[in-house]
Amino acid sequence: MNVERMNDTARAIVADGKGLLAADESTNTIKKRFDQVNVESTERTRRDYRHMLFSTPGIGQFISGVILFDETIRQEGPDGQPLVKQIEQAGMIPGIKVDRGAKPLAPTGSEKVTEGLDGLRERFAEYGEMGARFAKWRAVFSVDDDKPSEKCIRANAHALARYAALAQEADIVPIVEPEVLMDGTHAIADHAAATERVLRGVFAELAEQGVALEGMLLKPNMVLSGKEASQQAGAAEVARTTLRTFRRVVPAAVPGIVFLSGGQTDEQATRNLDAINKLAQEDGAPWPLSFSYGRALQQAALKTWAGNNDNANQAREAFMARAQQTSAAAQGRYAA
């Protein structure tokens, strides 16, 4: 296990205001996205769409790496070049989603646990040969009167830690993604309490499994009001509450934090990231605070492309603009 190499990769991912493009939507998820713009989801349309994003001129100035789905890491572009090579030539680092989705947690199924550990060591060996230098595993937690339960936290934290240990065994940087969902009517204080409990459980398991914190990245939710809450916290409150929560539980040894957008609009995700970084710069946070966004980076480009490759250049411009704005926010320099 080469911790120094993994630390170098992790630091490169969050350097200079750069962050990640999460292009790892499953086949079912990307179909839903395509349905919104009346595009049929086929192997070719999925390839064309992602090729369009990855070939955006200059995108490596703002995007450090791309999280891929299993189908995508195996695909070639229209010119026959592997998409992984295209990503590398753009100055970005290829990564891979390795979990196999959140499934009902037995016996009641009222919460979820992420599966995918079976055969993971062998899959890491294969993905490493394909060029993947980092990986991602997502666990999800709901906020309610009795959620997240300790059972759910323990089950998902253990899976995240075992995944992370296997990734590091293969010299692949694990991105650990415990997402406390914003769905619901909860207040921001309840989201903060749930996020703190989840992160405490995750870091306890990471220690138990011998994961080197210097060779990983954390991909958490921001601390937010529930999407259906009557009172919505503004960006300043989101920044204060998020940073206070993370300072309590995230070790300084972690090389960086890459936030997920988690159902926020493009503008919300950008404004909140900017507010977090402005406050972090004032108070001296111990980690870079960047992004790993999917919809918040892609939505404008997807609508512009809409399945027509003649629209590719305009779609790339929309993607580039959003990447530039998000990178600015990761440096506390966003001006709407």
18 is catalytic: no
Q: Which residue is listed with tokens 């300043």?
A: 236
Cα separation, 72 vs 53, in Å, equals 13
Exactly one of 18, 97, 136, 219 is catalytic; which is it? 219
Cα separation, 104 vs 163, in Å, equals 19
Tell me phi and psi for residue 215, to 5 degrees.
Answer: -115, 30
Q: Could you tell me how far CA 281 lies from the centroid of its own chain?
A: 22
Cβ-Cβ contacts under 8 Å for 51 (sequence gap 6 or more): 77, 78, 83, 86
102 neighbors 75 (Cβ within 8 angstroms) = no
Cα separation, 316 vs 138, in Å, equals 28
Cα separation, 6 vs 11, in Å, equals 9
228 neighbors 185 (Cβ within 8 angstroms) = yes
177 is catalytic: yes
Q: Which residue is listed with tokens 């919300």?
A: 268
Exactly one of 111, 177, 179, 205 is catalytic; which is it? 177
Cα separation, 332 vs 289, in Å, equals 10
Cα separation, 52 vs 318, in Å, equals 12
Element (DSSP H or E) covering residue 135: strand 134-141
Q: Which residue is listed with tokens 């993905």?
A: 127
155 neighbors 203 (Cβ within 8 angstroms) = no
Residues with a known catalytic role: 177, 219
